[in-house]
Amino acid sequence: MFFDRSRFPDKFTFGAATAAYQIEGNAKGNAGQNHWDTFAATPGNVVGAQNGARACDHYTFWQQDLDLMQAAGFDAYRFSTSWPRVQPDGRGAVNPEGLDFYDRLVDGVLDRGMDPYVTLYHWDLPLPLADKGGWCNRDTCAHFADYAEIIMDRIGDRVASTATVNEPWCISYLSHFLGQHAPGLRDIRATARSMHHILLAHGMAMSRLRQTGHDGLGLVLNFEPAQPADESEASARAAATQHAIYNRWFIEAVTRGKYPEEALLGLEPHLPQHWQDDMEIISQPLDFVGVNYYTRSLYEPAAEPAWPGTRSKQGPLKKTQMGWEVYPQGLEDILLWLSAEYVGDLPLYVTENGIALADRLEDGKIHDTERCAYITEHLQATANALSLGANIKGFFYWSLLDNFEWAHGYDKRFGLVHVDFKTLRRVPKFSYYMLQKALTNG
Ligand code: IFM
C-alpha cells in the first residue's frame, strides 16, 4: 500500500523541492555566471561537461511546473533563489529581472494555494566571488548577508519558511576536500575554512534577517548514518570520525556553538584564527532545522596515513541509480537522534528525500514503482519518528522534476516528473500519480 495521509497530523506539510541551478536555466534572464559553470567546463568534472545553462528552463516554464505541483495536491513548494541571478557580481548591483522572477514565482505558488519555502543558497556561488576565494574567504559571508537581505526585502513578506543554506557539508567538505563539486578542491585548509565560513554566512544572514523583522528562519543540513564496515575497533573509529565530520559538525555548531573534538583533531590547525569568536553568531536561535536524507555509508580505516584515515565501503543493500543504498531506517534514526540530542521541540522538516532511477518512457508512461516503494518506506520512517515524539512538521520529496544532478549531469533522474531534455516536455511519472491520489484522496 502507498502512504496514507491519515498517519500524519492535520497540519503536516507535504511538498516537493527543487534548486535554482538544477532547473531554471542560468543562461536566461541576465543571470551572472557561477562556479558550477566553470567547474562543468573543465574536462572530467561533470558527465559530458553538461551544465545548468538550460536545465529544465523553469525560468520560462515555471507556471506549468507550479500547475503540476498544485495538481498533485502539495501543500508547499521548496525552491532556491539564485545568487548570481539576483546579484550577478555577488555584491553591489542587483539584476531587476532576477528579483522580478522570484517575486512572480512566490505569487504563483501562493495563487495555487501552496506555501513558498525558500532556500537562499543552494550552491550557485557567483563567479566574481569564487575568483576571490569563494567560501575560503571570510568576506563572502558578509556579501551573503547582504544578498539575503535583498531577497527577503522583496519576497520575505510572503514566504512561509526561509533556509539560509542547503547542505553545508556538500558546500564545504564534498567540494573542498573530496573535490567532487565546485570548486573541486582537495585541500584541508580550504576545507576547514569553508566548513567554518559557510556556518558564519548562515549566522550573519540570520542576524541580518532577524534585525529586518523576518521569522521562520533556519537552515538545511544533510545527514547520512556513518556505520562501521565490520566489527573491528578500527572501523568503529573510522565511522565515528566520519560521523563527527558529516553529521555532527554543522548541527553541533548551530545548536551548541561548538565543533566535535573528533573532527577538530584534523581540522582545527586549518581553521581561521579566532574562529571561536564566531561561534556565538553561528549558534543563534533557529525556528526550524531542515533534514536532507538519502542513504547511509559504511566506513573502514584507509591505508593512507593522512587524517581522517577513513574510506567508505560499498554496502550490501539495494542500490539506487546513484549507487546509494536504500536504508529507510536511517531516516527514523536520524530524526530521533536530532530530537533527543540537539533540537528538542524545535520543528524538524524532512526537506529532501528521494531516489534516482534510470526511468524510461514506455508508451508515454513511466512506471517507477521502485520510487513509489522508496517514498512509502521513507514516509513510514518519518511517521515512526513522529509517533516516537520527534517534532516533524513536513516532508518534501526531492525532486519535482528530473534535473541537473551536479557532477552526474542529466543522467540521474530523481523527479516525480520526467523531463525530456531535448524537447523539455514534462511527463508525470507513476509516483507522481500515486502521491496525487494519496494527497487529494482521489
Ligand atoms: O540534487 C541534490 C540536491 O541538489 C541536494 N541534495 C541531494 C540531491 C540529490 O543528490
Which residue among 398, 401, 403, 410 has the greatest number of ligand 1 atoms within 8 angstroms of its CB, and so is best to mutate? 398
According to the model, what pLDDT value does residue 280 have? 98
- C-beta atoms surrounding 93 within 10 Å: 8
Candidates 72, 74, 70; CA nearest to 62 is: 70
- CATH number reported for the structural domain that contains residue 329 in this entry: 3.20.20.80
pTM (predicted TM-score): 0.98
Q: Where are the beta strands (DSSP E) in 36-103?
A: 76-80
Pairwise CA distance, residues 392 & 151, whole Å: 27
Contact 352 CB / ligand 1 (< 6 Å) = yes
C-alpha cell at 306: 593522512
Q: Which amino acid is at 349?
A: Y
d(CA 209, CA 357): 39
Task: From the CA of 222, give the closest atom in ligand 1.
Answer: 6
Q: Which of 21, 27, 13, 22 is nearest to 69 (CA)?
A: 13
Task: Please say if 167 is a catalytic residue.
Answer: yes
Could you tell me the CA-to-CA distances from 340 to 248, 263, 283, 337, 385 in Å, in that order?
Answer: 13, 21, 18, 5, 11
Q: What does the pLDDT average to over 299-305?
A: 95
Residue-wise pLDDT for 69-101, tens only, equals: 999 999 999 999 999 999 999 999 999 999 999
Tally of domains within the chain: 1
- Asked whether the predicted pLDDT for residue 41 surpasses 70, the reply is yes
Residue-wise burial string across 205-236, b where 16 or more C-beta atoms lie within 10 A, e elsewhere: bbebbeeeebebbbbbbbbbbbbbbeeeeebb
Bridge-based pairing state of the strands 76-80 and 288-293 = unpaired
Cell numbers placing 83: 545568487
Q: CA-to-CA distance for 400 and 221, rounded, in angstroms? A: 20
What percentage of residues in the chain have a pLDDT greater than 90?
98
- The active-site residue out of 252, 262, 325, 352 is 352
How far apart are the CA of 405 and the centre of ligand 1, in A?
7
Q: What is the pLDDT of residues 224-261, one digit of tens each?
A: 999 999 999 999 999 999 999 999 999 999 999 999 99
Residue whose grid cell is 557567483 = 126
Ligand 1 midpoint to CA 276 (Å) = 31
| CA 414–ligand 1 middle distance (angstroms) | 9
Instruction: Indicate the pLDDT class of residue 1, thresholds 50, 70 and 90.
Output: low
> d(Cα 398, Cα 17) in Å, to the nearest integer?
5
Which structural domain range is residue 221 located in?
5-439
Q: What digits encode the pLDDT tens for the residues 114-124?
A: 999 999 999 99
